């Protein structure tokens, strides 16, 4: 990405093993993330460009000398952040804060919207999917475990969604819909989905949403309060990242309830005083999903056919068409775009 709206495919040297803990992975499927749209709107023009992408499934090509759990030919999922999965924060289940971890898309560590990728801390950052190859029908669902589904899951998990909970999900993007699916997995009794794109909210209904609210802002808040007998929602999952979505969240959360955010906040300051969070004893939680913490059980669920999160992909393109993929997601013509390689 060279600036807002400016995505191009460039030929760059193949990545090489730099650290003995690295692996090189050949990408089978990658995708465009809702969070990629934030710089797509706002990035200042930069002739050097920024490598993009942080979601990938693929096949291990080569491993560094210190890598012990992987070998060439393994089919793997890469969580959207890399981590050693052994440090004190990883052991706490906060792998996105790994002492030796980081995020893709810097100049040292490239993006994953690419044919080949260098994966740092490969033992901690790649998880083998047994018995799957490039022809599997499960590729889309497995790809969502790199970020989008488990980001929705993180929202629900941090929101302490459980049996009997009323959950409101703000945002009908791929993360919001994933949050609906995850909330149902965690036993939510009622799931109110706030979104206005019926093709999306229809999938939300299939995944467990019991109510859809198309209104936003004050109107949306009133509607959710009405649906909950004036009490508000035990849990609000905020899957957008813009301030109005957060304001909606504290408007509809029930006293003593939880707001769980997984949309990357496009703001730093926001109301948290007596009139928003404090007075109602509202808990605010969330952050970048420690996907690695949730990956093994989710892989088992996908392989067993218990969940089908891959249905968020409604368009598949080749890497040469990546610019049109961003444009389609930005225009909301596509919910989530998958990039197929070879």
| 255 binds a second copy, rule: CB under 8 A | yes
Q: Output the smallest distance, CB 290 to a second copy, in A.
A: 7
Q: Output the smallest distance, CB 89 to a second copy, in A.
A: 5
Applying CB under 8 A, among 9, 16, 86, 93 the residue interacting with a second copy is 93
Contacts with a second copy, 43-62, as mask; x by CB under 8 A: --------------------
Euclidean distance between CA atoms 211 and 185, whole angstroms: 17
Q: Output the smallest distance, CB 238 to a second copy, in A.
A: 11
Terminal Cα distance for the chain, rounded: 22
Euclidean distance between CA atoms 36 and 214, whole angstroms: 25
| 272 binds a second copy, rule: CB under 8 A | yes
Applying CB under 8 A, among 69, 97, 301, 316 the residue interacting with a second copy is 97
**Contacts (CB under 8 A) with a second copy, residues 153-182:** 158
Length of the chain: 342
Size of the site for a second copy (CB under 8 A): 38
Contacts with a second copy, 222-241, as mask; x by CB under 8 A: ---------x----------
Q: Output the smallest distance, CB 316 to a second copy, in A.
A: 31
Contacts with a second copy, 184-223, as mask; x by CB under 8 A: ----------------------------------------
| 269 binds a second copy, rule: CB under 8 A | yes
Q: What are the residues whose beta carbons fall under 8 Å from the beta carbon of 167, sequence distance 6 or more?
A: 156, 159, 161, 183, 188, 190, 191, 192, 233, 234, 235, 236, 237
Q: What are the residues whose beta carbons fall under 8 Å from the beta carbon of 169, sequence distance 6 or more?
A: 176, 179, 180, 183, 191, 192, 193, 194, 204, 209, 236, 237, 239
Q: If you write DSSP's letter for every residue of 300-331 in order, what string do you get?
A: HHHHTTS--GGGG--EEE-GGGHHHHHHHHHT
Euclidean distance between CA atoms 285 and 10, whole angstroms: 38
Backbone angles phi and psi of 103, in degrees to 5: -115, 150
Q: Which residues bind a second copy (CB under 8 A)?
A: 88-89, 92-94, 96-97, 158, 231, 254-256, 261, 264-265, 267-288, 290
């Amino acid at each position: 990405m060279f600036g807002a709206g400016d995505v191009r495919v460039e030929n760059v040297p193949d990545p090489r093993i730099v650290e003995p803990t690295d692996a090189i992975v050949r990408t089978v499927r990658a995708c465009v993330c809702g969070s990629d749209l934030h710089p797509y709107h706002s990035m200042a023009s930069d002739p050097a460009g920024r490598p993009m992408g942080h979601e990938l499934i693929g096949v291990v090509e080569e491993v560094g000398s210190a890598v012990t759990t992987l070998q060439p030919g393994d089919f793997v999922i890469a969580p959207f952040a890399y981590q050693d999965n052994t440090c004190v924060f990883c052991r706490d289940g906060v792998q996105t804060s790994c002492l030796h971890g980081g995020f893709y898309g810097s100049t040292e560590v490239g993006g994953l919207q690419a044919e080949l990728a260098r994966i740092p801390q490969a033992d901690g950052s790649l998880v083998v999917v047994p018995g799957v190859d490039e022809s599997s029908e499960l590729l889309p669902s497995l790809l969502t475990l790199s970020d989008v589904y488990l980001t929705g899951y993180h929202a629900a998990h941090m929101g302490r969604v459980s049996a009997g909970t009323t959950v409101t999900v703000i945002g009908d993007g791929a993360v919001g819909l994933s949050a609906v699916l995850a909330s149902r997995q965690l036993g939510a009794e009622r799931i109110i989905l706030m979104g206005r794109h019926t093709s999306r909210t229809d999938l939300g209904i299939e995944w467990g949403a019991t109510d859809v609210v198309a209104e936003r802002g004050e109107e949306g808040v009133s509607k959710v309060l009405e649906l909950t007998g004036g009490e508000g929602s035990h849990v609000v999952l905020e899957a957008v990242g813009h301030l109005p979505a957060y304001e909606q969240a504290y408007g509809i959360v029930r006293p003593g309830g939880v707001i769980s955010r997984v949309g990357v906040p496009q703001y730093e300051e926001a109301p948290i005083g007596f009139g928003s969070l404090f007075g109602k004893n509202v808990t605010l939680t969330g952050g970048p999903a420690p996907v690695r913490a949730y990956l093994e059980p989710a892989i088992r669920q996908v392989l067993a056919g218990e969940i089908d999160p891959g249905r968020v992909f409604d368009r598949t393109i080749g890497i040469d068409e990546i610019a049109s993929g961003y444009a389609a997601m930005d225009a909301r013509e596509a919910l989530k775009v998958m990039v197929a390689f070879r």
